[in-house]
């Protein structure tokens, strides 16, 4: 194992750990101290398995069947049956990065030594991750309580040599073939181990952590796009002055306004629009109030990040092996804390996309764009220009508003009313991922239109930051001119947001963008 591996079991995972393993294929290793603690707690489980007193998950059935005692010679079958029956997912395959994130989160829980599994089971998860084997997990199946049961069960199937998985190259194979390809042996689960593999909030948590990483970048990109729109609309930079925004000490607002100031530094358009020739006293809310909206998103992200940090430091299992040596049933698997912030973030992102779309519409409307051609068209009437890009943005924003309806307020009882209140956190995580994707597209559309509008302002010149963005966009996207196939250009801009190209360009141009996390 290389020195750059993520070591699990010496403390909580970090957000960066999750991102590196999920997206960059970082290797993982288990701390030696953790293996010792794992073995110690396993001894306790094995002792309880021999006792006459029934212990949930060790010598009983599950859920509403918890009152049924299971004889010792049937307990291996009990764990195997649990995984098979709970692997009941349906729908589309979940993304590789999500599966890897939830596997790492579950591995971290197992490595605490508080779940009672054997070291060989913990190592099996590390081996799958390091081999690039990704169990096939389906979109539907989790209620976000008693853990993300179905998604985690599909993962557990593969270490048993069952189910289906994708190899590092994406090839779809059986669980048995996946293990053989990496020289791994199937695991025969013993008492409590099946339960420990599925009783966690790891799916919703992994998706939350990945979303937090993405939203940080998108908030900076939203600030950059807004600043370019402001220049293109001959707006004022006065509302973003430190003295003014400092009168309302919301942390996110301060950061967003500072980013706008950094983007506008050196703008000749801004300088030319100062003084008595200035033709407007105030800009529209979608420009003037951007730091208040984007800053509110940042503050929401920090709240969600705090909740994610608590969850990354948690032991989620039922029953759990306490440090004092007890095996106790509990409710820590309930996903409510994570579910709430997943919903909160979807609300915030819908609003950030909404204010971006309003600026795009303003850039395209000749009645409000202060001298720009209708829809930024080359020959209005013959050409429609970028008219339909606003339609695309509006359609995405409308969907994001629907996705902002909370999942966590819903609960459908399950398991014969034993599990009579659930979090729906997995559903919240799935819709947040779609919201993140939607926001990226909406901001890309604003960049596309702001850059074209700025070029149409020639010979007026924008600042170095906007000029650097425009130069990068022109490597894949044409400038003003007759109508052409729009979709590839929109996708090209969105891809530059996704892969970090535009943030890199701004950094290289000396634009110092910040977020609350960094």
Give me the active site residues, please. Answer: 56
Beta-sheet strands, E only, within 392-513: none
In terms of C-beta density within 10 A (0-12 exposed, 13-18 middle, 19 or more buried), how is residue 415 classed?
middle
Residue with tokens 């599994």: 117
CA 78/CA 71 separation, integer angstroms = 10
Return the ∠ at Cα 62 (arms to 58 and 66), rounded to 5°: 85
CA 326/CA 323 separation, integer angstroms = 7
The encoded tokens of residue 305 equal: 């990040």
Whether 111 contacts 38, CB under 8 Å:
yes
**How many Cα atoms are found within 13 Å in the side-chain-facing hemisphere of 366?**
10
418: which residues sit within 8 A by CB, 6+ positions away? 63, 64, 66
CA 211/CA 496 separation, integer angstroms = 18
The encoded tokens of residue 309 equal: 């940090």
CA 224/CA 500 separation, integer angstroms = 13
CA 277/CA 109 separation, integer angstroms = 64
Whether 92 contacts 14, CB under 8 Å:
no
- CA 448 → CA 40, 194, 404, 466, 491, distances in Å? 59, 51, 26, 12, 10
Whether 158 contacts 133, CB under 8 Å:
yes
DSSP assignment string, 126-171? HHHHHHT-EE--EEE---SSSSSHHHHHHHHHHHTT-SEEE-TT--
H/E stretch holding 93 reads strand 90-93
CA 191/CA 57 separation, integer angstroms = 7
Whether 454 contacts 464, CB under 8 Å:
no
């Amino acid at each position: 194992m290389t020195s750059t591996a993520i070591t699990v079991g010496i403390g909580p995972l970090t957000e960066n750990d999750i991102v590196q393993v999920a997206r960059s294929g970082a290797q993982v290793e288990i701390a030696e101290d953790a293996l010792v603690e794992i073995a110690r707690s396993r001894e306790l489980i094995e002792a309880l398995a021999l006792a006459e007193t029934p212990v949930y998950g060790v010598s009983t059935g599950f859920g509403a069947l918890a009152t049924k005692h299971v004889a010792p010679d049937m307990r291996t079958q009990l764990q195997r049956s649990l995984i098979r029956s709970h692997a009941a997912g349906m729908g589309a395959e979940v993304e590789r990065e999500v599966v890897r994130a939830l596997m790492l989160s579950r591995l971290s829980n197992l490595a605490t030594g508080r779940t009672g599994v054997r070291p060989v089971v913990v190592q099996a998860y590390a081996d799958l991750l390091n081999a690039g084997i990704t169990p096939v997990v389906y979109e539907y199946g989790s209620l976000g309580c008693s853990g993300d049961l179905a998604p985690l069960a599909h993962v557990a199937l593969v270490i048993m040599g069952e189910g289906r998985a994708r190899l590092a190259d994406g090839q779809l194979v059986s669980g048995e073939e996946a293990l053989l390809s990496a020289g791994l042996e199937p695991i025969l689960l013993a008492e409590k181990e099946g339960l420990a593999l599925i009783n966690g909030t790891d799916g919703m948590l992994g998706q939350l952590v990945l979303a937090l990483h993405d939203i940080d970048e998108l908030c900076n990109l939203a600030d950059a796009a807004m600043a370019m729109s402001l220049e293109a609309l001959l707006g004022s930079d006065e509302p973003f002055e430190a003295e003014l925004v400092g009168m309302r000490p919301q942390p996110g607002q301060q950061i967003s306004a500072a980013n706008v100031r950094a983007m506008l530094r050196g703008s000749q358009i801004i300088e030319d629009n100062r003084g008595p020739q200035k033709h407007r006293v105030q800009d529209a809310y979608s420009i003037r109030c951007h730091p208040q909206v984007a800053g509110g998103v940042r503050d929401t992200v920090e709240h969600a990040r705090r909740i994610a940090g608590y969850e990354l430091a948690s032991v989620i299992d039922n029953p759990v092996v306490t440090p004092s040596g007890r095996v106790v049933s509990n409710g820590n698997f309930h996903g409510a804390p994570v579910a709430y912030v997943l919903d909160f973030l979807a609300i915030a992102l819908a609003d950030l996309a909404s204010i971006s779309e309003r600026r795009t519409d303003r850039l395209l409307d000749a009645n409000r764009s202060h001298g720009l051609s209708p829809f930024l068209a080359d020959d209005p009437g013959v050409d429609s220009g970028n008219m339909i890009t606003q339609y695309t943005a509006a359609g995405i924003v409308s969907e994001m508003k629907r996705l902002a309806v909370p999942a966590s307020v819903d609960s459908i009882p399950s398991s014969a009313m034993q599990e009579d209140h659930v979090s729906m956190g997995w559903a919240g995580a799935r819709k947040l991922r779609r919201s993140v994707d939607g926001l990226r597209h909406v901001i890309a559309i604003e960049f596309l239109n702001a850059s074209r509008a700025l070029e149409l302002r020639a010979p007026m010149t924008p600042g170095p930051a906007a000029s650097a963005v425009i130069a990068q966009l022109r490597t894949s996207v044409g400038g003003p001119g007759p109508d052409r196939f729009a979709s590839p250009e929109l996708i090209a801009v969105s891809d530059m947001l996704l892969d970090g190209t535009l943030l890199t360009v701004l950094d290289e141009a000396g634009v110092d963008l910040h977020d609350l996390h960094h």
